[in-house]
Amino acid sequence: MVIEASHQAHVGHISSALCICDIVAVLYGKILKNIPGLDRDRFILSKGHAALAQYAALQLKGLIGKSQLESFCQDGSHFGVHPEFGTPGIEITTGSLGMGLSVGAGLALSAKMKKSTWKVFVLISDAECNEGSIWEAVMFAAHHHLSNLTVIVDDNGMQALGKTREVLDLQPLESRFQSFGWNAQTVDGHDPSALEAAFASPSPEPRAIIAKTIAGKGVSFMENKVEWHYLPLTQTQADLALEELKGKS
């Protein structure tokens, strides 16, 4: 779905979406409760440029129709490169990196004060941790013991201008979150069983799951190549990508 929709719309951000597909699949398939009810768990895709992965999950869950997904980036469509509030299944508008976790922490505190049972899950990128607002939210969540808050860090080691460690080294992320009072662990972001186990592990403190992923996962010519943060696919490339992905499914 990611390949087909991005090719039809002739837009990029493909590798950013592919690397989180396993995470989003586990969340929507196994973890998030009561979607789309009032007492639903809240999911925020803070790295909003990867919205195609979330749109695909929403369509597979029956929360949006196939025609809505096919309208991606078309005139008059609700479904743009970044998710916008008001679109079915989207909690907040994201794309301004560093903001999603702050909103998520506020939602988690609200749920805690109201003694509500729903939880908040926020997916951020490793490079997004360059933003100071991320660490303000991390401190806030630890201070308020927001055990109903989980952040998933898409740790693919890549960002818009190159390798994350070369732009601003953030490692080791696990111990950084732990030093702020979070329960943090590192998992294979492409292993559904490991992801599900990490989500299910109880914690009295906010939880950080550092998901090691591969940018452009599943497409050989795209994996760990910074240019696929931007480039759209030609017809030949789209055909090859679909062939490779179908062969690995």
CATH code of the domain covering residue 148: 3.40.50.970
Residue 249 lies in a domain: no
Average pLDDT over residues 150-159: 96
Q: For the chain, what is the mean pLDDT?
A: 94
Match 């991005």 to its residue by tokens: 6
pLDDT of residue 183: 98
Match 């586990």 to its residue by tokens: 26
Residue 182 lies in a domain: yes
pLDDT of residue 1: 85
Residue 135 lies in a domain: yes
Residue 49 lies in a domain: yes
Q: What's the pLDDT tens digit per position in 167-219?
A: 999 999 999 999 999 999 999 999 999 999 999 988 999 999 999 999 999 99
Range of the domain at 46: 2-242
The Cα 120–Cα 112 span in angstroms is 11
pLDDT of residue 31: 97
Confidence of residue 73 (pLDDT cuts 50, 70, 90): confident
How many domains does the chain divide into? Answer: 1
Q: Is residue 9's pLDDT more than 90?
A: no
Q: Is residue 110's pLDDT more than 70?
A: yes
Residue 236 lies in a domain: yes
Residue 95 lies in a domain: yes
Residue 247 lies in a domain: no
- Provide the percentage of residues in the chain whose pLDDT is more than 70: 100
Confidence of residue 249 (pLDDT cuts 50, 70, 90): low
Average pLDDT over residues 47-70: 91
